[in-house]
């Protein structure tokens, strides 16, 4: 019998800071099968045990070579067969990826929790961001050739369409909404991937990140830069995809995917 699994993705902008706010305690009641966290800004040994009471079977963490930056963590109750930090994509060892493999139903799945680079600081970082994007797509395509179904969650650091940010005109020349970044997202989807939220709704005003400035979150002047993608063969398995914008504690909010397998 098929089962519905719930996956959550959240850029917490510092897992120790979130712990001090007790902003992850809701996880205890949420029945989450995989929780992907980005921008932990910590080593694995620094992830507080107090973030929630639920005891997941496994915690995978990827840490940056430069302490206090980036970092991802994946908590799962699903039995995995493979785990790595994807060094062929994260070539600067910035702690940006958890890759795990598992089987659910008849699907052999490669699941990614990714903190994609931000290209705003300087031109070199934008170049690196675009190279990271291309390496990631190539890696996913190689896994599909090996028979894997793909699920990707994380902070992609780009709003795809005008519907995905409150002020597109004002931001069209800024990294995060540049034509080249948006065109890569078009390319990614054209290779056989689905933006799960847009598969379920075309509603406006659905954002996952807000600046701390000018009361942006209260006024919902935001960006949708966090995504769940699945490969086309999982499209029919999507039960729901949504944004948990009521959850506070970071400049991002969590996003969710429910999938039946």
* pLDDT for res 249: 97
Q: pTM of the prediction?
A: 0.98
Q: Taking residues 80-90, what's their average pLDDT?
A: 97
What are the residue ranges of helices labelled H in the chain?
15-20, 123-145, 168-171, 179-190, 196-200
- Does the structure show a pLDDT above 90 at 177? yes
Mean pLDDT value of segment 199-219: 97
Question: pLDDT averaged over the chain?
Answer: 97
Catalytic residue from among 19, 33, 90, 155: 155
Q: At what angle do helices 123-145 and 179-190 cross, to 10 degrees?
A: 0
- For the chain, give the percent of residues with pLDDT over 90: 98
11: left (phi over 0), alpha (psi -120 to 50) or beta: beta
* pLDDT of 1 over the 90 cut: no
Proportion of the chain above pLDDT 70, given as a percent: 100
Output the six-digit token pair for 1: 């019998």
Q: Domain locations in the chain?
A: 4-260
Residue 121: band (very low, low, confident or very high) from pLDDT cuts 50, 70, 90: confident
Report the CATH architecture of 4-260: 4-Layer Sandwich (3.60)
Give dist(CA 145, CA 134) in Å, integer.
17
Pair of tokens at residue 170: 């004002």
Q: CA-to-CA distance for 163 and 114, rounded, in angstroms? A: 23
Give the pair of three-digit tokens for residue 52: 């929630």
Alpha-carbon torsion angle 125, 71, 219, 205, nearest 10: 80
Q: Is the predicted pLDDT of residue 83 greater than 90, yes or no?
A: yes
- Quick one: pLDDT at residue 198? 98
Q: Which pLDDT value is given to residue 122?
A: 85
Nearest to 36, CA basis, from 6, 65, 64 = 6
Catalytic annotation present for 123? no
74 within 8 A of 34, measured Cβ to Cβ: yes
- Strand locations in the chain, DSSP E? 4-11, 34-38, 58-62, 72-76, 82-84, 97-104, 107-115, 149-155, 193-195, 209-210, 222-223, 226-231, 238-243, 255-260
Residues whose CB falls within 8 Å of the CB of residue 108, separated by 6 or more in sequence, listed in order = 101, 147, 148, 149
Quick one: which H or E segment has residue 216? Answer: none
Tell me the per-residue pLDDT of 180-199, one tens digit each, with 9 for 90 and over: 999 999 999 999 999 999 99
- The per-residue pLDDT for 159 is 98
Q: How confident is the model over 123-174, as pLDDT tens digits?
A: 999 999 999 999 999 999 999 999 999 999 999 999 999 999 999 999 999 9
Res 49: pLDDT: 93
**pLDDT value at 175 more than 90:** yes
Q: Determine contact, residues 49/82, Cβ cutoff 8 Å.
A: no
Residues 6+ apart with CB under 8 A from 106: none
- pLDDT, residue 75, reads 98
Tell me, what's the pLDDT at 52? Answer: 97
């Amino acid at each position: 019998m098929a089962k519905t699994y719930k996956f959550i993705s959240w850029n917490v902008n510092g897992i120790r800071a979130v712990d001090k706010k007790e902003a992850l305690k809701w996880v205890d009641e949420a029945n989450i099968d995989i929780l992907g966290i980005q921008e932990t800004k910590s080593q694995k040994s620094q992830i507080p045990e107090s973030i929630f009471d639920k005891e997941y079977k496994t915690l995978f963490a990827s840490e940056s070579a430069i302490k206090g930056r980036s970092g991802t963590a994946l908590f799962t109750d699903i039995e995995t067969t493979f785990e790595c930090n994807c060094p062929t994509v994260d070539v600067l060892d910035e702690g940006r990826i958890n890759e795990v493999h598992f089987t659910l139903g008849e699907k052999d799945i490669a699941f990614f929790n990714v903190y994609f680079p931000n290209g705003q600081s300087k031109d070199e970082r934008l170049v690196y961001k675009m190279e990271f994007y291309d390496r990631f797509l190539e890696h996913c395509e190689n896994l599909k050739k090996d028979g894997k179904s793909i699920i990707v969650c994380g902070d992609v650091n780009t709003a795809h369409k005008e519907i995905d940010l409150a002020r597109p005109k004002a931001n069209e020349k800024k990294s995060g909404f540049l034509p080249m970044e948006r065109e890569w997202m078009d390319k990614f989807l054209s290779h056989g991937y689905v933006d799960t939220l847009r598969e379920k709704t075309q509603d406006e005003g659905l954002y996952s990140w807000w600046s701390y400035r000018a009361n942006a979150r209260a006024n919902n002047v935001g960006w949708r830069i966090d995504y769940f993608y699945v490969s086309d063969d999982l499209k029919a398995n999507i039960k729901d995809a949504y944004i948990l914008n009521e959850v506070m504690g970071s400049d991002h909010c969590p996003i969710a995917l429910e999938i039946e397998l």
